[in-house]
Amino acid sequence: MRVGVLTGGGDCPGLNAVIRAVVRKGVPEYGYTFLGFRDGWRGPLEALTKPLDIPAVRGLLPRGGTILGSSRTNPFAIEGGVEKIRRNLQNLGVDALIAIGGEDTLGVATKLHEIGVNVVGVPKTIDNDLAGTDYTFGFDTAVNIATEAIDRLHTTAESHHRALIVEVMGRHAGWIALHSGMAGGANAILIPEVRFDIDQVCKWVESRFQLDYAPIIVVSEGAKPKDGDEVLRTGEKDAFGHVRLGGIGDFLAREIEARTGKEARTTVLGHVQRGGTPTARDRWLATRFGLHAIDAVHAGKWGMMTALHGTDIELVPLSEATKELKLVDPTLYAEAEVFFG
* CA separation for the pair 294, 26 (Å, rounded): 6
| 3-class SS of residue 332 | helix
Q: CA nearest 172: which of 325, 318, 70?
A: 325
2 is in an annotated binding site: no
Contact yes or no for 17/287 (Cβ under 8 A)? yes
Beta-carbon-side half-sphere exposure of residue 180 (alpha carbons within 13 Å): 36
Sheet holding 163-168, edge to edge: 188-190, 216-220, 163-168, 264-268
Q: How far apart are CA 316 and CA 339, in angstroms?
A: 36
Residue 274 assigned ligand-binding role: yes
273 marked as binding residue = yes
Neighbours of 203 (CB within 10 A): 16
Q: Is 208 annotated as a binding residue?
A: no
The neighbouring-strand residues paired with 308 are 313
288 is in an annotated binding site: no
Is residue 265 a known part of a binding site?
yes
* 169 marked ligand binding residue: yes
Any known ligand binding at 110? no
Catalytic residue of the set 11, 127, 140, 295: 127
Angle between helices 103-114 and 81-91 (to 10 degrees): 80
Say whether 317 sits in a helix, a strand or coil: strand
Q: Is 200 annotated as a binding residue?
A: no
* Known catalytic residue at 129: no
Name the burial class of residue 301, with classes exposed (0-12), middle (13-18) and buried (19+) by CB atoms within 10 angstroms of its CB.
middle
Q: Is the dihedral of CA 233, 327, 39, 63 positive or negative?
A: positive
Give the whole-angstrom CA distance, residue 213 versus residue 163.
9
63 belongs to an annotated ligand binding site? no
* Contact indicator for 127, 228 with CB cutoff of 8 Å: no
Backbone angles phi, psi at 19, to 5 degrees: -55, -45
CA 105 – CA 110 distance, rounded (Å): 9
Any binding-site annotation on 170?
Answer: yes
Q: Which residues are annotated as a binding site for Mg(2+)?
A: 103
Annotated binding site for substrate: 125-127, 162, 169-171, 221, 265, 271-274
Residue list for the binding site: 10, 103, 125-127, 162, 169-171, 221, 265, 271-274
Which parts are annotated binding residues for diphosphate? 10
Q: Which residues are catalytic?
A: 127
